Structure 1
Amino acid sequence: MDLDQFEMLLGDIYESAWSTAHWSTVLNRLAEMTNCTIAHLYISDHRTRKVLESYCGGDERRISAAHQAYIDHYGAIDPRGAKSSSLSPGNWILCQEHFDERYVSRSEFYQDYLIPNGFRYGTGTSLLTSNNVDISFGLLDEAQAFSREIHLPLLNRITPHLQRSLQLGQRLQQLTGQIELGSNFIDTLPQPVVVCSSSGKVIYSNRGANALLAVEHCIRIEKQHLVCADTHHQQKLSALIRGASSVNFSTARQCSRASRAEPGIMTTRSLRNGRNLHLSVIPVPQSHGVQADFAIDQGVLVLFDSHQGDFSNTEYWLTSLYRCSPAEVRIAKLLLEGQSPEEIGLSLGLKLPTVRTHLRNLFEKTGTSRQTALVRLMASLPTTGIVGS
């Protein structure tokens, strides 16, 4: 095996995780290295075996003549697929060991498709089964039977790399979709909002934040980080971001750990119009799965506010950011006014166990664990944000 050629192949395999169009390069290179006619990667429905996507490399003339028929019909009856799917992923089958001349003479796949298109021998494996689809890989040749001694050493060596590249590609597709969903949610908020990592790196900023930061000079995005114009405010902002992202809310019920997250607020003065600009720094809420959406383990939302408001807007944030129910919001309002659970029960005509159940729901949804932490979070939320307020 030529080491330089093998290293180039590995680079192409992992490049394909980013762009499926690159699989043609991988397949062309593999067809050349194995001296076969066609190398083939295809995705099929696990139940029906219908081919959903297909990529080929090798002899272009043969590919153009046979590829579409394989997708339309013959892929679903390819015996390599049924055989390899019965084995654990990564196990290669050599067709001559499973399909003898008697089988070939009676097979629609061989007689109506493979042989008329100039092929006779094949090998294949199932690489991955995920989300009700199978991802398979195969080689076809017109003259040579594939050999355990000649071909399998290379195929066995590249199989884990093929599988890993496909897994990475699936994860990248998933993250791309999640980031789009996360950005769509942030963009629905009327408040200027920036999503930051625990280091202050800007992951996403919505339209309102982009408009604000484009004209504001006391705070800006510089080298992908949110920075203040002066050292004092920069130190304060960095401390707030670290405090609000000090815990990974991977499980909302990790209350002993979640209590370490500290939402906070700071005020800086606009260099543009002299008005106070209030920044609320809060842990990324889990009610929308935003941390997962933006592929960050620890993160914060920085919300900007230059007005004064009242609890009605805090109610808006509890509802929109944390998916709190009306009953939970009513209890949160009274808690913010300083009432105890017993007093809240009397004010709302609720039994104490019911109040405590609502409080537990509030803790879980907001990632807090104590009443004081919940009050601190609500006090950190912007007092404006409703369109027209």
Structure 2
Amino acid sequence: MSGHSVDEAIAALYAAAVAPDQWDKALGALKRLADARAANCFVHDAVTERFIEYRFAGYGANWARDYAGHYHSLDLARRVLLREPAGRMHAMHRYVSESMVQKSEYYQDFYIHEGLRYSCGGTLFDGNQRLILAVHRPVGHRPYEEHTVAELQRVLNHLPNVFRVRELAMLGRGDASMSCAALDALPRAVVIVDETATIRYINRAANTLLDHAEDVFIRSSRLTLPDPHLARQLTQRIKKACQPTPATDPVPLYTVDSNGRPSVEFHIVPLDPALAAGVASAQPMAMILLRRPFQRANWAGAATRPYSLSQAEIGVAASMVEGLTPAEYASRSGVKVSTVRSQIKSIMAKTGTRRMSEIATLFARMDISLFDQTAPDTQRT
């Protein structure tokens, strides 16, 4: 990993949704996250197989023309994305062997000729549209690692919402109420503050998260943290994000609960002026992205859990959202892979899903950590 935060890439994509001139910056953030040379985002009509639009960065001048005109039909990675279940990022070296690369016109005459070698991509459906996200490392680099794929998975999960925000922004260009509606459409908790850390806007997801948080408060129109050291760090990062030349720390801040576990994650990024125009004055603003890291939870009862999943099943579902394989989750949790696979089958039966990618997509839309309770689990898997 390059050390750049996944939240930077996510925030940059949402900024591009409301300000089209920010797409190059968003794809640049995606390249830094993936330690890649090129990145692209396609919108594809799943019925007609027609490209509706594509955004790309890091390629040569004739790349788009040559790809759309001929090479897309020979693209082995594209075939993998169309064949594999939607909702997951795929490192293509796992599907395209070295011998296939040596025999491929696409790789030898186009992709490698462009200076690229390893790709990672994924798709999600939004109605009849197929959304495609991909990043590409250069010749001489290394294939994509599992932890990088997991970070990119988090970005992919946001992609349908990015384009929905764009639709709202296009409908309400110049309308402050519509800009606020775009922020409320974000599944991620967002708090907008000025350089004095005074809150200027809170979206719905943030209100929900703060209602359940025990160590973050709103007092006198400010986020208040009981830990004075952490509060100072938050204030300092907000000031840096509001500078004429903004600075962003890729390492999040965390509050800690009474058991010493991370409870709320804070990532502070500069607020793009295109978003700020709808919620406040022209003064510098920062956007605080909040998230509750998933923790192994104790549940009050099946009625409080989505789809009546057990504690163990919730843990498995959350790991899929993170992009972990069954083997990786089994190793991290200290259980057998066969146990995890049995839990996956149970989740599918309870949710009506048929693939692991469908489980990841389903639970990516909700904040699983909000179901955290303190009473012991009464249901066993």
Structure 2 length-normalised TM: 0.40
Structure 1 length-normalised TM: 0.39
Larger radius of gyration: 1
Name the structure, 1 or 2, with higher relative contact order (CA <8 Å, separation 6+): 2
